[in-house]
Structure 1
Amino acid sequence: MYTGIIQNYLPVKSVSNAPGLTSFSIIFTPEILKNLQIGASVSIDGVCFTVTKVLENEVFFDAMQETLFKTTIGSLKVGQKVNIERSSTEGAEIGGHIISGHVHGMAKIIAIEELENNHVVTFQLPERLSKYVFDKGFIALDGASLTVVDADFDKETLKVWFIPETLGRTTFGFKTVGDMVNVEVDQQTRVIVDTLERLLPQYLDKNK
């Protein structure tokens, strides 16, 4: 599990493609590399990966076909910077919200408004995810725990305000219009919405 507080953004060192599998490596800083073992869980742009190999400060991961198809990892390039978070440890502070690293889809950046001390970014959501997004609710975008400022159900968009600290600590500081990001909706919200969708029609039928 993760907290959505990005520890750093780091460069992709290598990408190796094979049928149905992509292996890639990232150069880790000493702070994030500390006590990292093969088999450890790491969030990379919001996607949960398992460490397969460590060579000094170069850390290797494998991405399967489903991950390549459903997330931005499918278009990963050498030199690209990605958000990194090590898995949460027992007793650690949860500064954001609980994130599983199981991405539900991708959203597209359709507008960026640069204000004096904030960036307001508008995202276009996949149709099937918009029902899980509410004003002031949590959402994870590229692994970062963020608060939804404005959810438009009709347009299937959401807006997020980024403070300088978040822009400086994550890849959102250099995102541009047209970029895609990984989306993980809040699990509690998803369970509530799905449960109501399933049970409410049954309740209404029984009470006609």
Structure 2
Amino acid sequence: MFTGIVQGTVELVSIEEKSEFRTHVLALPKPLLEGLALGASVAHNGCCLTVTAIDDERVSFDLMRETLRLTNLGDLVPGDRVNIERAARFGDEIGGHVMSGHIICMAELTDIEEAPNNKRLWFELPTEYARFLFEKGYIGIDGISLTIGDVQGRRFCVNLIPETLARTTLGERVPGDRVNIEIDPQTQAIVETVERVLASHRVG
């Protein structure tokens, strides 16, 4: 489980390529290494990955074919930075919203509206996921817990304060970039339950 409060950005220092499989090696700072063990869960741009090796500050994670297909982690090259969050522990403050680290799809950044102290970013989802978008609802973007500002069909926007821009990679995104999307699990469950109930009434 994750909270969507990114703990920092970390550099991808090397990639080991195999057939439909990758190993990413990240250089984690000391605060993120504390208590880290093999098998631990760490979110990379919101995608939950498992620690497979630890060599001083260098930590390895394996990415399977489905992860590379569904997320933007397959687009990364050495030198890129990713948003990192260690798995939440019981008793931790939930400053964002509860997230699973399971990416449902990617969205394209289409527009950026600049303001003196913030940015508004517009994204476009694949059509089949637009039904999960609600104004003031929660959404996970590259592992960041955010509130949806407005919805226009399959487009939606989020407003970013300076702290979010400074602590995450979203401030570096440009139109055309793809971001990882996690739909709020409660929203998804409610929408899909209502759809099933309505479908059963139509059949009846």
Check whether TM > 0.5.
yes
Checking the alignment, whether the CA contact within 8 Å between 1:2 and 1:101 is kept in structure 2 is yes
In the comparison of the two structures, how many residue pairs are matched? 204
Measure how far apart 1:205 and its partner are.
4.7
Counterpart amino acid of 2:157? K
Partner of 1:76: 76
Distance 2:152 2:127 in 1: 12
Give me the TM-score of the superposition, normalised by structure 2.
Answer: 0.98
Aligned to 1:98, the other structure's residue is in SS state coil
Given residue 171 of structure 1, which amino acid in structure 2 is its aligned partner? Answer: T
2:42 corresponds to which residue? 42
Whole-angstrom CA distance in 2 between matches of 1:202 and 1:53? 49
Q: Which runs of 5+ in 2 are unaligned?
A: none
Listed as ranges, the gaps of 5+ residues in structure 1 are none
- Aligned twin of 1:7: 7
Q: Deviations over 1:122-179 (max 9, x none)?
A: 00111111100100000000000000000112xx100000000100010011111111
TM-score, normalization by structure 1:
0.96
| Cα pair 1:15 1:76 within 8 Å, conserved | no
How many Å separate the matches in 2 of 1:109 and 1:16? 28
Residue of structure 1 equivalent to 2:29 = 29
Deviations 1:15-46 (A, max 9, x none): 11110210011110111111100110000001
> Which runs of 4 or more aligned residues in structure 1 lie more than 6 Å from their structure 2 counterparts after TM superposition?
none
2:117 is paired with a residue whose SS is: coil
1:117 equivalenced with 2:139 (yes/no)? no
Cα deviation for residue 188 of structure 1 reads 0.6
Check whether the contact 1:9–1:169 (CA below 8 A) recurs between aligned residues: yes
| C-alpha displacement of 1:90 | 0.5
Matched, 1:169 2:164: no
Cα drift, residue 204 of structure 1 = 4.3
Q: Match for 1:49: what amino acid?
A: L
- Give 1:194 deviation, angstroms: 0.7
Q: Which moved more, 1:195-204 or 1:165-174?
A: 195-204
1:200 to 2:198 alignment: yes
RMSD value, Cα: 0.8
Measured after TM superposition, the shift of residue 75 of structure 1 is 1.1
SS at match of 1:101: coil
1:96 to 2:96 alignment: yes
Tell me how far apart the structure 2 counterparts of residues 17 and 170 of structure 1 sit (CA, whole Å): 26
